[in-house]
């Protein structure tokens, strides 16, 4: 039961990390685009 819980927690953490990284990359691209304009 505990193992299942920790796996779910890790999955959630990874999901959040991926979303954060993707958002950051999009943000960087947006800055480059605005600077280019």
- Where do the structural domains in the chain lie, given as residue ranges? 1-36
**Mean pLDDT rounded to a whole number for the chain:** 85
Q: What is the pLDDT of residues 1-37, one digit of tens each?
A: 456 667 777 888 889 999 999 999 999 999 999 988 7
Buried residues in 11-25 as b, exposed as e (16+ CB within 10 A): eeeeeeeeeeeeeee
pLDDT, residue 17, reads 92
Residue with tokens 């990874």: 14
Predicted TM-score (pTM) of this structure: 0.58
């Amino acid at each position: 039961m505990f193992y299942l819980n920790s796996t779910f927690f890790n999955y959630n953490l990874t999901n959040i990390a991926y979303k954060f990284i993707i958002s950051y990359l999009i943000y960087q691209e947006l800055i480059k685009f605005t600077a280019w304009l």
